[in-house]
Amino acid sequence: MIDHPEQPPQGRTLMIDGVTHRYGGSTAVDDVTLDIRGGELVALLGPSGCGKTTLLRIIAGFIAQTRGRVLVGGEAIDDQPPNKRAVGIVFQNYALFPHMTVAENVAYGLAARGADRRTQAAESERMLELVQLGHLAGRYPKQLSGGQQQRVALARALAVKPAILLLDEPFAALDKNLRLDMQIEVKRIQRMAGTTTILVTHDQEEALSMADRVAVLSQGRLEQFAPPTEVYDAPATLFVNSFVGTANLLGGTLLGADTEGARVRLDGGAVIETRAPVGAVAPGGRVTVCLRPEHLTVVGGGSDGDEDGIPGVVDLGLPLGATVVHEVRIGTGTAVKVAEPRRQRASVLPPGTPVRLAPAGPRLASVFPQAA
């Protein structure tokens, strides 16, 4: 197998080209452009009401966008009704047909496309084997567990070999342990099928762990479209920084900046090295510094006259297994979270301990100009 590595089948490209959608007076999707490669898994991430579900329904053809185009494999599909688009969907509630058996559910799309009974039976059996549910073909959906229902929904969507697979919050209804199993399972099946996939989710962990690229949406606008690590390490906007992962937001003044990085004086007086500011801001301008909990470390007592670092007092310490999180109240009154790997048998600092916080490394924090 090493001599002949199996190429996964190449999925079709999906282009969302300047799509805008308005409901009455409000804009649900605002000029979103996404160029998605064949076979890629892209997560649409955002809080509820950010337009991600509307975008999904536009791709499926349930609603017609106000402006813009949707292209699959380079061809515009805007004029095609849902049943003519080669799209598969797994709904949040799975939407399995309750009056049909598992096998009938999976064969439904094949029957609708005019496949003969033998093909239907063979294909539905093959798909059920793929999701490891061959033994439950004769059951009804209500006789299955949530995870099993989801796998049936996935098999049903993939049975018609869609060009685009849409997953609408597919893991939201599953409990935490099962969710991780299913995420791995779906990712495995998606890789095998090579289907271009859009995952709609409000769960940032899910988006970061599953997607090849993440599109972060807020109030209908695309905030950032980048690989998960880039979204996390180099957020394009303050919204992305706060929504993805945890962020401590501190006010400060820009001292100087170049393309490599910047120096910022925090409101407490401490000066830190940061990434180059995102957006235009002149030295002396007000900025918001986003420090992730793991960007900081606790460096000993606060009253030893050391000028380096941010002085503060421990509010609370949480030993979270491999990491330890301290909430530290700094001079300006802001509570700052600090996450560090926990040393062997180390315990948390008791509340009231005076500490100093230092950056865990150079140029980790992101800096955004503050609106005047």
**Could you say whether residue 81 binds other proteins (CB under 8 A)?**
yes
Q: Smallest gap, in angstroms, from Cβ of residue 178 to other proteins?
A: 21
DSSP state of 275: P
Residues 91-110 close enough to bind other proteins by CB under 8 A = 91, 93, 95, 97-99, 108-109
d(CA 359, CA 105): 55
Six token digits for residue 45 = 């991430």
d(CA 252, CA 255): 9
How many other C-beta atoms lie within 10 A of the C-beta of residue 246?
15
Among residues 85 and 292, whose Cβ is nearest to other proteins?
85
- Size of interface with other proteins, in residues (CB under 8 A): 27
DSSP state of 79: T
Among residues 43 and 87, whose Cβ is nearest to other proteins?
87
Q: Smallest gap, in angstroms, from Cβ of residue 92 to other proteins?
A: 8
How many other C-beta atoms lie within 10 A of the C-beta of residue 139?
15
Among residues 108 and 239, whose Cβ is nearest to other proteins?
108
Give the residues across from 311 on adjacent strands: 356
Among residues 113 and 126, whose Cβ is nearest to other proteins?
113
Q: Smallest gap, in angstroms, from Cβ of residue 22 to other proteins?
A: 17
Residues 12 and 72: beta-carbon distance below 8 Å: yes
Residue in 64, 76, 112, 320 binding other proteins, rule: CB under 8 A: 112
d(CA 206, CA 199): 9
Q: Smallest gap, in angstroms, from Cβ of residue 129 to other proteins?
A: 20
d(CA 184, CA 233): 24
Q: Is 211 left (phi over 0), alpha (psi -120 to 50) or beta?
A: beta
Residues 121-150 close enough to bind other proteins by CB under 8 A = 140-142
d(CA 358, CA 354): 14
Give the residues across from 357 on adjacent strands: 298, 310
Residues 258-317 close enough to bind other proteins by CB under 8 A = none
**Could you say whether residue 12 binds other proteins (CB under 8 A)?**
no
d(CA 160, CA 79): 21
d(CA 214, CA 194): 18
**Could you say whether residue 23 binds other proteins (CB under 8 A)?**
no
Q: Smallest gap, in angstroms, from Cβ of residue 262 to other proteins?
A: 49
Task: With CA atoms as reference, report the closest residue to 312 among 327, 322, 323, 325.
Answer: 327
Among residues 115 and 244, whose Cβ is nearest to other proteins?
115
Task: With CA atoms as reference, report the closest residue to 51 among 217, 251, 260.
Answer: 217
DSSP state of 312: E
d(CA 23, CA 5): 49
Residues 156-185 close enough to bind other proteins by CB under 8 A = 156-157, 160
Q: Smallest gap, in angstroms, from Cβ of residue 67 to other proteins?
A: 23
Q: Smallest gap, in angstroms, from Cβ of residue 100 to other proteins?
A: 8
Residues 61-80 close enough to bind other proteins by CB under 8 A = 61-62
Residue in 69, 113, 117, 191 binding other proteins, rule: CB under 8 A: 113
**Could you say whether residue 60 binds other proteins (CB under 8 A)?**
yes
**Could you say whether residue 88 binds other proteins (CB under 8 A)?**
yes
Q: Smallest gap, in angstroms, from Cβ of residue 171 to other proteins?
A: 17
d(CA 91, CA 291): 36
* Region of 55-63, 243-251, 287-295, 356-364 interacting with other proteins (CB under 8 A): 55-63
* Region of 154-162, 216-224, 229-237, 304-312 interacting with other proteins (CB under 8 A): 154-162
Site residues (vs other proteins, CB under 8 A): 60-62, 81-85, 87-89, 91, 93, 95, 97-99, 108-109, 112-113, 140-142, 156-157, 160
